[in-house]
Amino acid sequence: TYLDKQEQPTPIQFLTELTRLFQKCRLSGSVFITLKKYDGRTKPIPRKGSVEGFEPSDNKCLLRATDGKKKISTVVSSKEVNKFQMAYSNLLRANMDGLKKRDKKSKSKKSKAAQ
């Protein structure tokens, strides 16, 4: 994974890389973003027995973004989540203007066919 290959970027570096991904995919393509709770583990939990010597750290959030070719990820700690959330929401608002509207006719045709 991306985390193993090189050093993980800071949340600010992640946002600049995410801006580049959005710019690259502006005309065609998609950017997939996932968020999940992160406890600091780098290996999966074993099925049997207990995990020895592992102390979960404070609450963190793992963010991943990909365009299908390039992957970026970062971990945001609970201390810096407010600052990151403000910058992240501004970035999303700035890059959501190129979205296409969905065709609502296809939904109504499907619902009529179901009845």
The model's pLDDT over 65-101, given as tens digits with 9 standing for 90+, comes to 998 899 999 999 888 889 999 999 999 998 887 667 7
Q: Quick one: CATH architecture of 2-42+57-95?
A: 2-Layer Sandwich (3.30)
Q: Where are the domains of the chain?
A: 2-42+57-95
pTM of the predicted model over 0.75: no
Q: What is the average pLDDT score of the chain?
A: 80
3-state secondary structure of 66: strand
**Which residues, at least 6 apart from 68, have a Cβ–Cβ distance to it below 8 Å?**
29, 30, 32
